[in-house]
C-alpha cells in the first residue's frame, strides 16, 4: 500500500568521503520505489562531493550539491529539502546503513497508525563487535526532567529489547522518515531545521515543534538500520572543541524556544542542577565551550523573536506536551474513544447499575494484574448492562482518551514516585467518585483501604480487593511494610465487602483477623493472538523458547531465574519479559553479564504478549508473594507447561500438573527446565492439562458474573452472593 508514495533520501556530509560509498550502496538496495537521492556537502576538504557523485545509485534520480561553508546538519538538511520533491523525507547520516526494507516498514507504520503522524523512526544498531554481539544506538528519543533528550537503549547490548511499536517523543535525524507536510507545517520562516543549531539537538528541537503542532512521532522496531556513531557523551573529552561548543549552546537554545511556565515549575530543580554541573565542567575542563554563553547573550534578541514565533504557532496545550518529560513512550493499541454519558446524565440500560473501578493505573491494561482485571471486568460489565467508570492515572493513559470499549474513563493526576503514585491518585479518585451518584464501587490494593471512608461518607458502598500479603514484598522498606500491615487491618473493617483472589489469602484474613471475604479469582481469555511479528523481531521460533513474565522485583525472583538458566543445556533462548519503574539497580544486577541465551525485550503487552504465550515451550513462574497471579493464569490458559515456584498460592492455581521448584534453590529450577528441554512431548501434554484447568476454573466470563452479583449485592439488588 505504501508503494507509490515518493521518498527522498536526504544526506548531509562533511568530510564523509570514507562513509559515502557504503551509505549510498545501502540506499540503492532499498526496496521502496519511487525513490530520489539528494546529497548536500558542507564544504568538505576530503573530496566528499566527488565521492558522492562517483557512488551515486544507478537508476535513481540523484542530486549532489556543495555549500560554500559548513552550515552543519541543520543548514545542510534545509538545503537538501529545497531540492527534494517527494512527500516523505528520509534523513540519513553518511555513517548509517538502512536495511533494504527500512523505508517500507516505516511507511507501513505511518499508514497503519491511523493518526496524524509526522515522523517514524526505526531500530538503530551499532556495527557488530568481533564476537558478533551488537549494541543498540537509538530506539526513538525520550525526554528527561532536566531537559536532556536521550536515544532510548543507546549503548545497551542488543538482546531483543524495545521490540514493540510505540509513540515516542522524538526521532533522531540519523535515520528517520518525516512527512514533508509535517516539516512544512512546523517550519519557521520556511526552515524546517533551525540553522542556529548547526549540529546536535537540531532533531530534538524539530520534534518539539512537530509535537507543538499536533504531529505524532512513532517508533517501528521492525525497521532496522546500522549506525556507526562517534559523537557520544562518554567521548566528550575526545570530540572537537567546536562540536562541544555547539552541544552546550544548543542545550540552552532548546529551552529558550520551548520552555513554558508549566514545565518550568515541574523541571526547575533537576534542570538547575544540570546547568550548574555544565557550567562547572566548562570552567574546569572545557573552557573553549564558555563561548556558548557569550553567543546566547549576543543573540538574545534574535533568539527571543524566534521563541515568540514558535510559541505563537502552538496548537497543542502545554500540558499535552509536558507529559513527555515524565513518560518514555505511549502505546499504539488503544481503541479510539466513543461517546459515553457520565453517571449523572442517566441513560441506564440493562441492569442499570452505575459502578466505579478505582485504585489501578487504569485501562487499557498496560502494566500488571490490576490493570488487566480492570479492563477485562469493565468491558464485560458494560456488555451486561452496567455503566462503568474507570479511574485512570494521567501518566498511564493515552492523551485524549475519555472512554474505552464502552467504559467511561476519568483521568486524574498523581505524583509519579514509588511511594506516592498509588495513594495520591486513589485519594483524588475517591474525592471525585464521592460526588458522583454511583451505585457501587470497587477499590483495588490493600494500601488503598485508608481512602475507603472518603467514598462511604455520602458516596456508594465499597468492595475492597486485596491480591496478596503485600507487607511481605521485599521491594518495600520498613515504612512501606508498616503501611501495608496497617492497611491489612483496615481492610477488614472499613469496606462494605472484602474481596480476596485466592483461598490461601481468604484463610489468611479469616485466621488472623476473623474477617470473612468473598473469593473471586483472576481470569484468562485465551483467544488466538494476531501475528505481530514479535517472534521474528526477537529471533525466536515457535515452541523453541522458555518464557518468563513479571515485574522485575525481588519477590518475583528474576535474578534467580537468570542465575538458574546458566546451568541449563542446549541453545533454547529464555525470553524474560518485564521491567519495573523504580528498580534500575536491581535489574542491572542480573541483566548485565547475563547468559547470552537470555533475551530482555522489556515489557510487552497486548497481542505481542499473547503471541509469546501462544508459542512458548514452557512458562516459568517464580513469584513467591501474592494470591492468584495473573501471568500464571494466562500462561495456563494458553496451554503452556508451567514451571512454578512451590508456594501454597501457586499450587492452588496450577494444581497437580505443574512442575515445581524452589526459588531459593536455583538448581531445582535448572533441573526442571532441563526435563522440559529433553522431553518437549511431555511438556506439551502438561500444557494441555493446564489449558483444561484454566478453562474450568479461570474464565473471565465466570469472574465477570461473580463481580456482577457482588455489585448487585452492594447496591441492594441481591441478598445473597453466589460464588
Q: Check if the beta carbon of residue 150 is closer than 8 Å to that of residue 324.
A: no
% residues pLDDT > 70 (the chain): 91
- pLDDT for position 721: 38
- pLDDT for position 584: 80
| Mean pLDDT value of segment 551-575 | 94
213 or 468, which is more confident: 213
% residues pLDDT > 90 (the chain): 62
Identify the helix (H) or strand (E) that includes residue 38: strand 35-42
- Pick from 340, 356, 338: which is nearest to 348 by CA? 340
- pLDDT for position 12: 97
Alpha-carbon radius of gyration of the chain:
28
Side-chain-side CA neighbours of residue 695 (13 Å): 10
Tell me the C-alpha distance between 111 and 524, whole Å: 32
Cis peptide before 34 (omega within 30 of 0): yes
Tell me the C-alpha distance between 603 and 367, whole Å: 8
The C-alpha angle with vertex 573 and arms to 570 and 574, in degrees rounded to 5, equals: 115
- pLDDT for position 336: 38
The single residue listed with the C-alpha cell 523481531 is 537
| Mean pLDDT value of segment 349-362 | 82
Cis peptide before 364 (omega within 30 of 0): yes
Q: Check if the beta carbon of residue 105 is closer than 8 Å to that of residue 220.
A: yes
Decide: helix, strand or coil at residue 291: helix
- Pick from 264, 267, 250: which is nearest to 194 by CA? 250
- Pick from 565, 572, 577, 570: which is nearest to 534 by CA? 577
- Pick from 18, 27, 78, 74: which is nearest to 50 by CA? 18
Please write the tens of the pLDDT for every residue from 90-102.
999 999 999 999 9
Tell me the C-alpha distance between 126 and 229, whole Å: 7
- pLDDT for position 395: 87
φ/ψ of 553, rounded to 5, equals -130, 155
Q: 229-238, 328-337, 497-506, 608-617: lowest mean pLDDT where? A: 229-238
Going by pLDDT thresholds of 50, 70 and 90, the confidence category of residue 264 is confident
Q: Which three cell numbers stand for residue 714?
A: 452492594
Q: Check if the beta carbon of residue 31 is closer than 8 Å to that of residue 103.
A: yes
How many angstroms separate the Cα of 57 from the Cα of each of 22, 26, 96, 106, 715?
A: 11, 9, 16, 21, 72
Please write the tens of the pLDDT for every residue from 95-152.
999 999 999 999 999 988 878 999 999 999 999 988 888 899 999 999 988 898 999 9
Residue 367: CB atoms within 10 A of its CB come to 17
- Is a pLDDT exceeding 80 seen at residue 478? no
The DSSP output letter for 447 is: G
Going by pLDDT thresholds of 50, 70 and 90, the confidence category of residue 475 is low
**Rounded-to-10 torsion of CA 290, 294, 299, 303:** 50
Q: Check if the beta carbon of residue 444 is closer than 8 Å to that of residue 392.
A: no
- pLDDT for position 348: 37
Strands (DSSP E) along 458-617, which ranges? 462-466, 497-500, 518-519, 546-549, 574-577, 598-599
Tell me the C-alpha distance between 460 and 562, whole Å: 47
587 or 581, which is more confident: 587
| Mean pLDDT value of segment 213-238 | 82
Decide: helix, strand or coil at residue 91: strand
- pLDDT for position 334: 44
| Mean pLDDT value of segment 233-254 | 76
- Pick from 99, 174, 171: which is nearest to 139 by CA? 171
Looking only at the bridges linking them, the beta strands covering 407-412 and 403-404 are antiparallel
Name every residue whose Cβ is closer than 8 Å to that of residue 421 and which is 6 or more positions away in sequence.
Answer: 393, 414, 415
φ/ψ of 662, rounded to 5, equals -115, 115
Helices (H) and strands (E) in the chain, counts: 25, 27
717 or 192, which is more confident: 192
- Pick from 58, 98, 61: which is nearest to 83 by CA? 61
Q: Which three cell numbers stand for residue 523?
A: 481470569
- pLDDT for position 479: 60
- Pick from 191, 234, 215: which is nearest to 72 by CA? 191
Name every residue whose Cβ is closer than 8 Å to that of residue 483 and which is 6 or more positions away in sequence.
Answer: 447, 476
User: What is the pTM (predicted TM-score) of this model?
Assistant: 0.57
- Is a pLDDT exceeding 50 seen at residue 722? no
Residue 107: CB atoms within 10 A of its CB come to 23
Tell me the C-alpha distance between 286 and 236, whole Å: 10
Tell me the C-alpha distance between 521 and 523, whole Å: 7
Please write the tens of the pLDDT for every residue from 429-448.
999 998 899 999 999 988 89
Q: Check if the beta carbon of residue 680 is closer than 8 Å to that of residue 687.
A: no
- Pick from 501, 359, 332, 549: which is nearest to 442 by CA? 359
Please write the tens of the pLDDT for every residue from 83-92.
999 999 999 9
Tell me the C-alpha distance between 212 and 203, whole Å: 14
Tell me the C-alpha distance between 240 and 236, whole Å: 8
Q: 343-357, 512-526, 544-558: lowest mean pLDDT where? A: 343-357
Tell me the C-alpha distance between 361 and 375, whole Å: 11
- pLDDT for position 480: 58
Residue 620: CB atoms within 10 A of its CB come to 30
| Mean pLDDT value of segment 223-240 | 72
Tell me the C-alpha distance between 392 and 404, whole Å: 11
Please write the tens of the pLDDT for every residue from 494-509.
898 999 988 888 888 8
- pLDDT for position 57: 95
Please write the tens of the pLDDT for every residue from 38-76.
999 999 999 999 999 999 999 999 999 999 999 999 999
CA-based diameter of the chain, in Å?
87
Going by pLDDT thresholds of 50, 70 and 90, the confidence category of residue 484 is low
- pLDDT for position 347: 35
| Mean pLDDT value of segment 539-562 | 94
- Pick from 642, 701, 699: which is nearest to 524 by CA? 699
Name every residue whose Cβ is closer than 8 Å to that of residue 489 and which is 6 or more positions away in sequence.
Answer: 513
CA 397 vs. chain centroid, Å, equals 12
Q: Check if the beta carbon of residue 47 is closer than 8 Å to that of residue 19.
A: no
DSSP track, 155-222: T-B-SS-S-S-EE-SB--TTEEEEEHHHHHHH-BTTBSS-GGG-SSSHHHHHHHHHHHTT-EEEEEEE
- pLDDT for position 194: 95
The DSSP output letter for 99 is: -
Q: 569-578, 618-627, 690-699, 704-713: lowest mean pLDDT where? A: 618-627
Going by pLDDT thresholds of 50, 70 and 90, the confidence category of residue 481 is low
Amino acid at each position: 500500500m505504501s508503494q507509490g508514495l515518493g521518498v527522498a533520501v536526504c544526506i548531509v556530509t562533511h568530510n564523509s568521503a570514507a562513509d559515502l560509498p557504503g551509505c549510498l550502496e545501502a540506499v540503492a538496495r532499498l526496496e521502496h520505489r519511487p525513490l530520489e537521492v539528494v546529497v548536500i556537502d558542507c564544504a568538505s576538504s576530503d573530496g566528499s562531493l566527488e565521492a558522492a557523485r562517483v557512488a551515486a545509485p544507478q537508476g535513481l534520480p540523484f542530486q549532489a550539491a556543495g555549500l560554500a561553508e559548513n552550515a552543519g546538519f541543520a543548514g545542510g538538511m534545509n538545503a537538501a529539502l529545497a531540492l527534494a520533491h517527494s512527500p516523505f523525507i528520509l534523513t540519513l547520516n553518511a555513517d548509517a546503513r538502512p536495511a533494504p526494507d527500512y523505508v517500507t516498514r516505516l511507511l507501513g507504520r505511518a499508514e497503519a497508525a491511523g493518526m496524524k503522524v509526522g515522523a517514524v523512526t526505526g531500530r538503530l544498531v551499532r556495527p557488530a563487535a568481533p564476537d558478533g554481539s551488537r549494541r543498540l544506538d537509538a530506539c526513538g528519543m525520550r525526554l528527561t526532567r532536566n531537559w536532556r533528550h536521550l536515544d532510548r537503549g543507546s549503548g545497551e547490548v542488543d538482546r531483543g529489547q524495545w521490540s514493540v511499536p510505540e509513540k515516542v517523543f522524538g526521532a533522531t535525524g540519523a535515520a528517520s522518515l518525516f512527512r514533508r507536510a509535517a516539516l512544512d507545517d512546523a517550519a519557521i520562516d520556511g526552515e524546517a531545521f533551525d540553522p542556529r543549531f548547526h549540529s546536535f539537538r537540531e532533531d530534538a528541537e524539530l520534534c518539539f515543534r512537530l509535537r507543538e503542532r499536533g504531529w505524532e512521532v512513532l517508533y517501528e522496531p521492525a525497521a532496522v538500520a546500522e549506525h556507526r556513531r562517534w559523537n557520544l557523551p562518554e567521548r566528550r573529552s575526545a570530540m572537537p572543541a567546536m562540536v562541544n561548543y555547539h552541544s552546550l549552546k544548543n542545550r540552552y537554545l532548546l529551552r529558550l524556544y520551548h520552555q513554558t511556565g508549566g514545565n518550568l515549575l515541574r523541571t526547575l530543580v533537576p534542570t538547575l542542577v544540570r546547568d550548574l554541573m555544565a557550567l562547572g565542567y566548562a570552567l574546569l575542563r572545557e573552557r573553549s565551550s564558555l563561548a556558548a554563553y557569550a553567543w546566547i547573550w549576543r543573540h538574545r534578541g534574535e533568539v527571543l523573536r524566534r521563541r515568540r514565533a514558535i510559541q505563537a504557532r502552538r496548537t497543542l496545550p502545554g500540558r499535552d506536551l509536558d507529559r513527555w518529560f515524565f513518560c518514555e513512550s505511549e502505546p499504539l493499541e488503544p481503541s479510539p474513544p466513543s461517546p459515553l454519558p457520565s453517571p449523572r446524565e442517566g441513560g441506564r440500560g440493562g441492569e442499570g447499575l452505575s459502578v466505579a473501578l478505582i485504585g489501578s493505573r487504569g485501562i487499557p491494561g498496560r502494566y500488571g494484574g490490576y490493570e488487566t482485571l480492570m479492563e477485562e471486568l469493565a468491558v464485560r460489565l458494560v456488555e451486561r448492562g452496567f455503566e462503568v467508570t474507570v479511574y485512570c492515572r494521567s501518566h498511564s493513559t493515552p492523551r485524549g482518551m475519555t472512554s474505552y470499549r464502552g467504559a467511561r474513563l476519568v483521568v486524574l493526576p498523581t505524583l509519579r514516585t514509588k511511594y506516592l503514585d498509588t495513594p495520591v491518585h486513589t485519594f483524588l479518585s475517591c474525592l471525585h467518585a464521592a460526588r458522583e451518584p454511583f451505585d457501587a464501587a470497587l477499590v483495588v490494593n490493600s494500601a488503598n483501604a485508608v481512602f475507603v471512608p472518603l467514598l462511604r461518607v455520602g458516596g456508594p458502598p465499597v468492595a475492597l480487593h486485596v491480591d496478596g500479603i503485600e507487607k511481605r514484598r521485599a521491594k518495600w522498606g520498613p515504612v512501606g511494610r508498616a503501611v501495608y500491615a496497617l492497611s491489612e487491618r483496615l481492610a477488614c473493617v472499613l469496606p462494605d465487602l472484602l474481596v480476596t483472589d485466592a483461598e490461601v489469602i481468604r484463610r489468611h484474613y479469616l485466621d488472623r483477623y476473623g474477617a470473612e471475604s468473598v473469593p473471586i479469582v483472576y481470569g484468562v481469555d485465551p483467544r488466538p493472538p494476531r501475528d505481530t511479528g514479535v517472534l521474528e523481531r526477537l529471533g525466536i521460533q515457535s515452541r523453541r523458547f522458555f518464557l518468563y513474565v513479571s515485574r522485575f522485583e525481588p519477590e518475583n525472583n528474576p535474578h534467580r531465574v537468570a542465575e538458574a538458566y546458566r546451568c541449563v543445556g542446549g541453545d533454547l533462548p529464555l525470553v524474560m519479559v518485564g521491567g519495573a519503574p523504580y528498580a534500575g539497580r536491581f535489574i542491572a544486577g542480573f541483566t548485565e553479564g547475563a547468559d547470552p541465551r537470555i533475551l530482555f525485550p522489556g515489557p510487552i503487552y497486548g497481542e505481542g504478549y499473547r503471541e509469546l504465550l501462544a508459542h512458548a515451550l514452557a512458562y516459568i513462574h517464580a513469584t513467591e508473594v501474592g494470591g492468584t497471579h495473573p501471568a500464571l493464569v494466562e500462561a495456563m490458559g494458553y496451554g503452556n507447561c508451567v514451571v512454578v515456584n512451590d508456594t501454597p498460592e501457586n499450587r492452588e492455581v496450577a494444581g497437580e500438573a505443574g512442575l515445581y521448584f524452589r526459588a531459593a534453590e536455583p538448581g531445582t529450577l535448572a533441573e526442571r527446565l532441563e526435563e522440559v528441554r529433553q522431553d518437549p512431548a511431555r511438556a506439551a501434554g502438561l500444557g494441555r492439562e493446564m489449558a483444561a484447568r484454566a478453562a474450568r476454573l479461570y474464565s473471565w466470563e465466570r469472574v465477570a458474573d461473580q463481580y456482577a452479583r457482588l455489585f448487585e449485592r452492594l447496591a441492594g439488588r441481591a441478598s445473597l452472593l453466589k460464588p
